[in-house]
Chain A
């Protein structure tokens, strides 16, 4: 299990979602991690969805979440917010689904997608 300062989160590694704690923020988003970012969730399995629930405040951006997860932006290949290819600048809202792929998984025909930016 893990904690990041200022964030409450719960992680699902082995198929069961466990609520760790809840404080602050206006609500929760779900973050799906891939590739080496799966290591952020201890006990995660390669063949299961690796997800965290994190609280967000008004105006929090994807970039802030990435920072709080201790991920360098240069190590990020693709971000999808609610299935839309996205920049780090977009603001988050409770209930959002955020997926982050590392640079080692950068196979994507970039021209296929518009990068959404708030």
Chain B
């Protein structure tokens, strides 16, 4: 079975198969979504208008049996940031898409009938657009339940909740996990609103088994698979910490680093941190049931996901990640993990990115809409989003919009996208990534390095700044490469430390594509793809003046380090300036 691209034209509700060119054949994930968006989308188009396109692309090795490799990338021009955007998710649909031979799905145009929604159904025999019918307006839990009831258990689902249907720019795109939970989100940048603007409620994929993946060099692939799996199991982070505590282990660690943003980025230390971290989630898995070491897709050996139960042992939410426990917890001054779990469940149901949702709630608390720390009132407020009330629409449009609505100055965003859970005044290197990423404030856009290592405190020597800027850029190019492969970004812990694991990753890619990529290609290709994204943003009107952190961080000292953000503009400019 050859690979093909599926073009879905919502103007006339047609579905067309296209051949995959050699240029596109070697691309996957973020490299493919960003290449297609750069080629086919006018950078100045309105993100929710008819000329934007939404692209779904499994990674290069997604669908294979390589470990932790099930990622699906989604790309478009973002209605939140106005930049090019890629967000990726785990869950089961990416693997199933790849195993049906689908290289990418391009969704374009808009249906003539406003407010009408469709589903794209794909099986090995049938690809068809159907009316969404009773699914329209439903939350993601009910949507997934109905789809499994009507189309069979194990069906892969990519969908949007009410926030996406109502075109709120904090709407994410849900992917279901093996138990049909909707919690695996391509969350960031409002891609759910783009999907809503196309009248597409869901993509459902009925596919079983390992499908028909073509390996150019099966032996090399197997060798690589073995090396990488061994590295992931041996490394303390991917083999021990993530499966034991999940990502929320970082709550106590960042708190001790003075870098856990608290009460809308007014402190780097939260007194309730011990109540909301990975240690408590691990303990609850023993006392309440639930699970740690949960895999978000078959074949993941890291298993950082979890299942969190109510006190009575019934299911509450899955997963509860570091970013969500922080944004809906410490950032709102909320120290009840049960309340945080409920806020997370609402996000999963309504279809919201948890980082942006928590940041918007934090800004609303700053404005006095509800008090910091009041979990029950936060739950009431967040429930407004799904109702589409005026308050719900304010929150559902993100932190920057909420800040404008209530006249708040302390709004932690870059290019309108809320910052994740690392305070740049305490962890200054991450501020470089937030400022210069092509995606707005995004912790997954590039591993980063301490500015003390970068030696950029005070006034920068221009030559030195350029050199250090190149280092910072190196982390972004490495990240984009991993995002293109379909591997989970967490493999980086192992491949950065273990040369055999790194080679294993390259071997699997070469084994699939029949190429001979080396570590140099890893950097070269990453740099090319990053330049493509940067070019799109420049054509959309972005300049280096947009590569800055919000002004308050330059004059408000953050306790406990009592530091402002003092990385010079020259350093930020040098990241992409060379």
Contact = CB atoms under 8 A, between A and B. Distances in A.
A48 B274 CA distance: 5
Given A46-B283, A83-B269, A99-B256, 15 more contacts: A46-B274, A46-B279, A47-B274, A48-B275, A83-B256, A83-B560, A104-B240, A105-B241, A105-B252, A105-B253, A107-B245, A107-B253, A111-B447, A113-B427, A114-B453
Q: Kindly name the residue among A50, A78, A106, A109 whose own CB sees the greatest number of chain B CB atoms within 10 A.
A: A109
B250 interface: yes
Nearest to A79: B256
Contacts of A48: 274-275
Nearest to B433: A112
A80 B252 CA distance: 11
Interface of A: 32, 34-35, 46-50, 77-78, 80, 83, 85, 99, 101, 103-109, 111-114
Contacts of B128: none
23 contacts: A46-B279, A46-B283, A48-B274, A48-B275, A80-B256, A83-B256, A83-B560, A83-B561, A101-B252, A104-B240, A104-B241, A104-B244, A105-B278, A106-B236, A106-B237, A107-B237, A107-B241, A111-B429, A112-B429, A112-B430, A113-B257, A114-B450, A114-B453
A5 B528 CA distance: 61
Interface residues of B, number: 37
Given A46-B280, A47-B280, A80-B256, A111 B449 contact: yes
Contact of A35 (B269, B279, B447): B279
Contacts, number: 86
Interface string B234-261: 0011001110110101101100111000
A104 B245 contact: yes
B258 A83 contact: yes
A85 B245 contact: no
A111 B475 CA distance: 10
A108 B249 CA distance: 9
B452 interface: yes
Closest 8 CB pairs of A and B: A83-B258, A99-B256, A114-B452, A80-B256, A107-B241, A106-B236, A114-B450, A46-B283
A14 B275 CA distance: 13
A85 B257 contact: yes
Contacts of B449: 111-112
A109 B257 contact: no
B257 A105 contact: no
Interface in B493-511: none
Interface in B336-387: none
Contact of B240 (A106, A109, A111): A106
B140 to A, nearest CB: 28
A107 B237 CA distance: 5
B293 to A, nearest CB: 12
Interface of B, helix, strand, loop or mixed by DSSP: helix
Nearest to A38: B279
B324 interface: no
Nearest to A103: B236
Contact of A83 (B240, B244, B257, B430): B257
B422 interface: yes
Contact of A77 (B236, B268, B278): B236
Q: Kindly name the residue among A48, A103, A108 whose own CB sees the greatest number of chain B CB atoms within 10 A.
A: A108
B448 interface: yes
Interface string B558-572: 001100000000000
A77 B249 CA distance: 12
A25 to B, nearest CB: 24
B36 to A, nearest CB: 31
A48 to B, nearest CB: 6
B561 A49 contact: no
Interface in B437-488: 447-450, 452-453, 475
Given A46-B279, A83-B257, A111 B448 contact: yes
Interface string B538-560: 00000000000000000000001
A78 B279 contact: no
Contacts of A80: 256-257
A57 B372 CA distance: 42
Contacts of B249: 105, 107
Q: Kindly name the residue among A32, A35, A48, A101 whose own CB sees the greatest number of chain B CB atoms within 10 A.
A: A35
A103 B268 CA distance: 24
A108 B240 CA distance: 13
Contacts of A107: 237, 241-242, 245, 247, 249-250, 253
Interface string B214-247: 0000000000000000000000110011101101
Contact of A34 (B252, B450, B452, B475): B252
A80 B254 CA distance: 10
Contacts of A34: 252, 279
Given A47-B275, A48-B274, A111 B241 contact: no
Contacts of B279: 34-35, 46-47
B340 to A, nearest CB: 13
Contacts of B429: 111-112
B433 to A, nearest CB: 10
A113 B561 CA distance: 14
Contacts of B244: 104
Contacts of B426: 83
B450 A106 contact: no
Contacts of A106: 236-237, 240-241
A41 to B, nearest CB: 13
Nearest to A50: B274
Given A83-B257, A107-B253, A112 B422 contact: yes
Contact of B450 (A78, A101, A113): A113
B448 A109 contact: yes
A109 B241 CA distance: 13
Nearest to A113: B450
